Amino acid sequence: MTDTTPALRPRPALTQDIAFFFEGAKEHKLLIQRCTSCGRLRHPPLPACAACRSFDWDTVESSGRGTIFSFVVTHYPKVPGFEYPLVVALVELEEGTRLMANVGGIDPADVRIGQPVVARFVAHDDDLTLPVFYPDPDPEPDLDAEGTA
Ligand code: ZN
């Protein structure tokens, strides 16, 4: 008899340094690690600040808005647990940090560098929720130094 249970997404290798990111995602919060000594944001999470070497940190919640900095559309090899073609993007958040994530809600042929995107949260199963970036239907206008569009 053939097992027709869909494959689960691979699990992240959780450590005490990165667990907050996945716990935040379960609560539909996109969290960024912040050095509490100098205020610098960093991602991926690290135990210490590269700027001031402090081990003290907390997190800030991202707006979820950003732009596609770079991306690939993968077709092969087809890893169980993913749907193809799969858009994997490096997204630059408006807070300045970048993260890798999937892009949804758009034909892979239409994805462009610089495209405004916004995070939503997809629960792949009971234990794994991840941010997925969708085209931003209402991108913020670029503001000049006076804060006007
Ligand atoms: Zn620092």
Q: What is the largest CA-CA distance in the chain?
A: 67
Tell me the CA–centroid distance for residue 42 and ligand 1, in Å.
Answer: 9
Per-residue pLDDT band for 147 (boundaries 50, 70, 90) equals low
Ligand 1 centroid from CA 93, angstroms = 19
What separation, in Å, do the N-terminal and C-terminal C-alpha atoms of the chain show? 62
What's the gap in Å between 31 CA and the centre of ligand 1? 17
How do the residues of the chain divide into helix, strand and coil, expressed in percent and rounded to 5?
5, 35, 55
* Residues in the 5 Å CB sphere of ion ligand 1: 35, 37-38, 40, 49, 51-52, 54
Tell me the pLDDT tens digit for each residue of 38-75.
999 999 999 999 999 999 999 999 999 999 999 999 99
pTM: 0.88
What's the CA gap between 89 and 99, in Å, rounded?
Answer: 8
2: Cβ–Cβ under 8 A, 6 or more apart, which residues? none
The pLDDT of residue 5: 77
Question: Is it the case that residue 130 has pLDDT exceeding 80?
Answer: yes
